[in-house]
């Protein structure tokens, strides 16, 4: 797997994950510090974190991937 394939895989997985991300955080609260529903992030915040993380991995790999939150939303 090359670097672009890695980033594309992350984007594809994030696109799928984001659909159930908030419910997943709630369901797996035994693995995080979110104990109350009012502590859960909203979808915009989740999208921003996923996007920033993937772009961070890209920079670490020497690539300006330039992923936007809109790129995580299936058309």
pLDDT tens across 26-63, in order?
999 999 999 999 999 999 999 999 999 999 999 999 99
Which own/partner contact pairs does 62-68 have at CB distance under 8 Å and 24+ positions apart?
A: 62/3, 63/3, 63/4, 63/7, 65/7, 67/7, 67/11
Q: CA 37, CA 4: separation in Å to the nearest integer?
A: 36
Q: What is the pTM of this model?
A: 0.93
pLDDT at 74: 85
Burial 37-55 (b: 16+ CB within 10 A, else e): eeeeeeeeebbeebbeebb
Residue 75 pLDDT grade (very low, low, confident, very high; cuts 50, 70, 90): confident
């Amino acid at each position: 797997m090359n670097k672009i394939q890695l980033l594309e895989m992350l984007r594809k997985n994030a696109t799928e994950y984001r659909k159930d991300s908030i419910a997943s955080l709630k369901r797996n609260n035994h693995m995080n510090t979110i104990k109350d529903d009012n502590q859960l992030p909203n979808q915009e915040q989740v999208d921003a974190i996923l996007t920033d993380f993937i772009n961070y991995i890209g920079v670490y790999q020497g690539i300006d991937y330039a992923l936007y939150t809109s790129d995580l939303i299936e058309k």
